[in-house]
Amino acid sequence: MKHIEIYDTTLRDGTQAEDINLSTEDKIKIALKLDELGVRYIEGGWPGSNPVDRSFFSDIENYALKTARIAAFGSTHHPNFQAQEDPNLRAIIESGVSTATIFGKSWDVHVKEALRVTEQRNLEIVHDSVAYLRQKLSEVLFDAEHFFDGFKANPDYALAVLRQAYAAGARVLVLCDTNGGSLPSEVATITASVRKALPDAALGIHAHNDCELAVANSIAAVQSGATHIQGTMNGVGERCGNANLCSIIPTLEQKFARTYQCLPEGRLPQLTRISHFVSEVANVQPFSRQPFVGRSAFAHKGGIHASAVNRMASLYEHMDPEEVGNRQRVLLTELAGRSNIVSIARRFGFHLDKDEPVVKGLLKELKDNASLGYDYAAAEASVELLLFKKLARRGVRQFFRLINFRVIESKQGRDAEPMSEATVMVEVEGVEEHTAASGRGPVNALDNALRKALSGFYPRLNEMRLLDFKVRVLNGSKRSDGGTASVVRVLIESGDQHSRWVTVGVSFNIIEASWQALVDSITYKLYKDEGEQRAKLG
């Protein structure tokens, strides 16, 4: 099998996407997952350009990565400097990486119009930049910007640029389709020409999706001899995005009769989970029709397909969805079967039969709620709670009952900070508790008031923290009464010293949706602690 190096640039080129902004902490989280997936390189950012990128390189040193190397990005040195004086190249060295990737001009018109130097001066700049970094670091990769456009305009000059970088010690020459306008047939022919001109150099491909051809262009380059692919998770990136690694990796590993290997053995089934993780951290809606990893990728709606798929999945599926960690969905009979419910109940010590009414009733409730927007795939704790409530008659207790709440937001004057105050009246252990609290925002005030009411009875609530809070507006653009009356879904992630759990709330009212998720989160903690105690005693 031929090994293909996967070079992920989600953290650098990916953040050029209009709707993607990552903090240093977001970047660290994503880098750790990319390492789990098993990519060869993670491009962390451009140390010379901004504080988030700089702090990423110092923070990531605290983690021991298993398979990935961290690469820093930058450009060839400024025409007015020597390589060793260039602040940009120095920032790369100071970032502490052992791998640098620098881009340089390979299209003659860019040398003239954008860089504004002679063709000869650009060759020196490329050579000196690579050579200087090569002295200081263990490896240098060279991104030949606009390579395909450059080759079409002036093949000799484009090749001369690659030769300079290669002679100066670049380990990989990466052919970039920076503007995304090249066709697979062009990429195949030009890559093959480069392969012939520089037979010993390792070649890479960096494609953009402006013609919806980035995946095809990356694969065409590999078929013509490239062994290194640059791309991003879910294809995020500037304009129409970069080449989508979530499509390239499974296509190369699954569609070429085991000719190519991109990830360490056994990692491909992590793909769907890690793709969704990246979307969550970046807070972008996952694209449901996304190949391989999308929610609809293996969803069958057509009556004919759906019944045939039940008989023999390979008739209407190009591969087994589990190879990429996704699953087949036959719509209409959509949600979890009764056997899933039985197995969840078992985890909590309740032995149910598939045919019991409580199981059927819960299945119906799950389906009805899912159609309203409750995302149970993300919020398993809320599913477990629905189960607990259904089982209430079998001795599962109710910890508290809401009588009412009120939240008041008031703002005095344009520049004043608003005041948030909540009152909560609940019945807990037969006692009526009425509390008030303020907070930083309405949900925080409600959370504070509810805990005040409960924590005297359940002191272990003090162990619990709210870790994350996500809001998504469903069907945002269509309601005749305007977007602010749209349905809102809130996911709250909570944790204590032992575990983390996610709960969901849905309402047209963001306070109500938050309240649902908050109440579920606290109730889940109480059930969980009781279950642990029962397990200890039993």
By CB under 8 A, the residues from 416 to 455 that bind a second copy are 417-418, 420, 439-444, 447
Choose the stretch contacting a second copy; rule: CB under 8 A; options: 20-28, 53-61, 257-265, 343-351: 20-28
Residues numbered 186 to 225 that lie near a second copy (CB under 8 A) are 209-213, 215-216, 219-220, 223
Residues numbered 363 to 422 that lie near a second copy (CB under 8 A) are 375, 377-378, 401-414, 417-418, 420
Q: Which token pair is 305?
A: 């397909």
3-state secondary structure 158-191: HHHHHHHHHHCCCCEEEEEECCCCCCHHHHHHHH
Give the CA count within 13 Å in the CB-facing half-sphere of 336. 24
CB of 138 vs a second copy, minimal distance in Å: 27
CA distance 155 to 153: 6
Q: Judged by CB under 8 A, does residue 110 bind a second copy?
A: yes
Of residues 211 and 358, the one with the C-beta less far from a second copy: 211
Q: Judged by CB under 8 A, does residue 247 bind a second copy?
A: yes
CB of 387 vs a second copy, minimal distance in Å: 18
Q: Which token pair is 134?
A: 């090569």
CA distance 115 to 191: 25
Question: Which residue among 58, 84, 114, 499 contacts a second copy (CB under 8 A)?
Answer: 114
CA distance 214 to 246: 12
Of residues 139 and 321, the one with the C-beta less far from a second copy: 321
CB of 41 vs a second copy, minimal distance in Å: 21
Got the DSSP string for 428-459?
ETTEEEEEEEEESSHHHHHHHHHHHHHTTT-G
Of residues 84 and 398, the one with the C-beta less far from a second copy: 398
CA distance 170 to 106: 15
Of residues 431 and 467, the one with the C-beta less far from a second copy: 467
Which residue, among 91, 35, 221, has the nearest Cα to 11 in the 3D structure?
35
Of residues 23 and 120, the one with the C-beta less far from a second copy: 23
Which residue, among 12, 63, 80, 68, has the nearest Cα to 36 in the 3D structure?
68
Of residues 261 and 444, the one with the C-beta less far from a second copy: 444
Of residues 87 and 418, the one with the C-beta less far from a second copy: 418
CB atoms within 10 A of CB 390: 21
Q: Which token pair is 212?
A: 């919806």
Of residues 131 and 153, the one with the C-beta less far from a second copy: 153
Choose the stretch contacting a second copy; rule: CB under 8 A; options: 3-11, 13-21, 154-162, 382-390: 13-21
For a second copy (CB under 8 A), the number of binding residues is: 130
Of residues 201 and 490, the one with the C-beta less far from a second copy: 490
**Residues 464/494, Cβ–Cβ less than 8 Å:** yes
Give the CA count within 13 Å in the CB-facing half-sphere of 70. 28
Q: Judged by CB under 8 A, does residue 340 bind a second copy?
A: no
CB of 82 vs a second copy, minimal distance in Å: 21
CB of 322 vs a second copy, minimal distance in Å: 15
Instruction: Look at strands 260-261 and 487-495 and give their pairing.
Output: unpaired
Residues numbered 497 to 526 that lie near a second copy (CB under 8 A) are 507-512, 514-515, 518
**Residues 246/276, Cβ–Cβ less than 8 Å:** no
Got the DSSP string for 482-524?
-GGGSEEEEEEEEE-SS-EEEEEEEESSHHHHHHHHHHHHHHH
Choose the stretch contacting a second copy; rule: CB under 8 A; options: 150-158, 193-201, 295-303, 351-359: 295-303
CB of 25 vs a second copy, minimal distance in Å: 6
Of residues 393 and 478, the one with the C-beta less far from a second copy: 478
Of residues 223 and 270, the one with the C-beta less far from a second copy: 223
Q: Judged by CB under 8 A, does residue 261 bind a second copy?
A: no
Residues numbered 298 to 317 that lie near a second copy (CB under 8 A) are 298-303, 305, 308, 311-312, 315-317
Residues numbered 72 to 101 that lie near a second copy (CB under 8 A) are none
- Would you call 97 helix, strand, or coil by DSSP? coil
Q: Judged by CB under 8 A, does residue 2 bind a second copy?
A: no
What one-letter code names the amino acid at 531? G
Question: Which residue among 474, 499, 532, 534 contacts a second copy (CB under 8 A)?
Answer: 474
Question: Which residue among 199, 357, 430, 482 contacts a second copy (CB under 8 A)?
Answer: 482
Q: Where are the alpha helices (DSSP H) in 203-335?
A: 214-223, 245-254, 271-282, 303-311
Please report where in the chains the tokens 């298993």 appear, as a residue.
66
Which residue, among 302, 391, 308, 294, has the nearest Cα to 342 in the 3D structure?
391
Residues numbered 115 to 154 that lie near a second copy (CB under 8 A) are none
Q: Which token pair is 223?
A: 């078929």
Choose the stretch contacting a second copy; rule: CB under 8 A; options: 35-43, 192-200, 389-397, 479-487: 479-487
Please report where in the chains the tokens 């029962």 appear, as a residue.
534
Question: Which residue among 88, 129, 178, 230 contacts a second copy (CB under 8 A)?
Answer: 178
CB of 128 vs a second copy, minimal distance in Å: 20
**Residues 240/212, Cβ–Cβ less than 8 Å:** yes
CB of 437 vs a second copy, minimal distance in Å: 12
Which residue, among 408, 282, 223, has the nearest Cα to 20 in the 3D structure?
282
